[in-house]
Structure 1
Amino acid sequence: MSRTSLRVQSISRAEHLAFIAARPSASHMQIPSWGDVKPDWRAESLGWIDEAGVLVGAGLALLRPLPRLKLKKYLAYLPEGPVIDWYAPDLVERWLDPMLAHLQALGAFSVKLGPPVAVRRWSADAVKAAIADPAAHRLRDAEPSSYDPRAFEVADRLRRSGWQQTESEGEEGFAAGQPRYVFQVPFAGRSLEEVHSGLNQQWRRNIKKAEKAGVKVVRGGYEDLPAFYGLYTETAERDRFIPRPLPYFQRMWNALNAEHPDRMRLYLAHHDGEILAAATMLTVGEHVWYSYGASTSRRREVQPNNAMQWRMMADAHELGAAVYDLRGITDTLEESNHLLGLLRFKVGTGGQAVEYVGEWDFPLNRVLQKALDLYMARR
């Protein structure tokens, strides 16, 4: 082992959590409790140790066995992680190669990770212009408002060392994938009044309309998850996605809030005794996510979704959030895409579309990787 190499080893949940807590933010999928949300995967907390024995990086690896195989061989997945120095010039040799060796020793035949490295950003105005431009079919066709050249260097280092970029759309089972494009509202250095003035005119009008109509947004508890779930399944049918089961959200609530009492919140928008919209909110450090949203088609004219989102944004600001993350958006700008309406809704917050470097795979055993690819192709 060279003088500059890092040692990767399994660490305790307490060490992992302490490392995350000492940083401004990390993905909610890189905290120890996220492993409890995914019982079909074996969770492993990884630590990067420097020459002085100091923990300088951490990550949550989810290990899932290859189906129909007696050998204990795993796909190792680090969603939106690990939490390491991604911009280090010796990223591959010092940080990633020791991780691959450790995971291979645990039985991994393939490793998938999602560097939390943003490449390009588009302001709300730039996104609106792209939607209106008939020549722009995808967000990436539009001129970004800013970009980070370091992100291209990260991608180049990964590619040159044998990592393969993946474009996974699925979320279930082995087709694990996180959105490459998200929408975020920057809060750092902005007052709540400045955040409010950043909303577009329609959003501000809808918030006022909801208030006048008597929409009340309240925080719910574990006992309100079935009410959320009823709206969520209606939303799934309307928006054409496969819903997760209710126990998933109950497990998420118990696991995340056992780790930190305010890690996960539930918000409910009431009107005339009926719940019209509901959403979950997750917090890790200064990063707050609007995680899952649900609503009914009834009484949309009272604008419960705008009211609920504004309450969540106000609460996130009060918590000291540096960013309010509305999660995934479509990259497709075609009017025929049923997700374009959701993109327009998020653009109304006045935030920015953000493109990450995406997810990357490293096959440690090409024969087993081929078997996995064949299995996924048949599903």
Structure 2
Amino acid sequence: MFERLRAKPREWLLVRPPATAEGRWQWLHYSAQQACASGTWPPPSALLQLPGALIIPALDCSHFCLPAPPGLKRHEWPQLFEEYAQQPAEALLVSCLSREAGQLELLVMQRQQVQQWLAECAALGLQIIHGWAELQLLPPPEAGQVVEWRRAQVRCLKAHSRQWLVWPPVLGERLPQAWRDLPAETLEGDWPSRLARLEQVPSVLEGTRPARPQRAPLMSGMQRRLLLGCVVLAACWSALYLGQSLRQIEGWKAQVRAVTGPVNSPQQARAALARVQAEASDWQVRQQKIVALEQAFSAWLQQQPGWSVVRIELDDSHWRLALRGNGPQPLPAEWQAMAQAAGAQWLDEAQSAAGQLHLTFELGEQP
């Protein structure tokens, strides 16, 4: 109870992972809504005594506002966007930022990546007790306006506490029309020059830290008898569960054979299952590349109204498009940049007739 009543710290040491593998961690001393000092690691030794907060880069998280039925549990949150996810739900870390009018505002991150960052912070001697996404650092904009934070790696915009936009340089300089029409307050630099009241912003790291161990109280005689009864019930339940499991073994074997085909040993079954999982993983990677390419082309088509897509084909490991129009064509370097951003490879372009353009992208091996 006393911990709930205790005020949150008003002074933090914010740390952000490097943008590249060769980069260094960045830090910011936050106090009373102001950035007092910042730089690359390490900070002054006195700042290491402050409570630490991990800042999740904007390009490493996804923001959703989805309708949610009442009574939805935390472990059921991934079901709300399972059609968007391209990987198992247990690989994702989902945090609820707000709940309003039957909708959940969710932030989705890679669980393994966040745990790796926390481990690196521990190795640096940091005590991370909180975490925020980069868009949460921006102050709330005035009504009808946008707050834009410009950096070399990305542009972050906020038009409402629930309306975010992350715009990487590969998509060009022109924002979507709905964002261009709003007056903007521009902030530049490695950190925003004006920050939100972080003590009022929800953390995105709930559920990543283990619960604090508690000392068990001494048991009375009645409690020992109750514990003995629980042990007996657990033994009975375990025996019943074991009997049911033994009857289901043949069913499980049939399911494995349906996936892997006939096998002669558990080693062969494991190898076949590993092959099936690898093929499924390859297929998911290809789907992610296709989604990234489609998003890049949608952004390009919005900026080039004279062009339109007349045909899309997926043949083995190739993604082909046929375009028709009379507008200016991007340079080959721009097609290559789109492909590299999606993890694919641009092969060639051919102009079969006036106003027609055919593009081919290599997605990788066919699963």
Higher Cα radius of gyration: 2
Q: Report the TM-score, using the length of structure 1 for normalisation.
A: 0.21
Pick 1 or 2: higher relative contact order, CA cutoff 8 A, min separation 6.
1
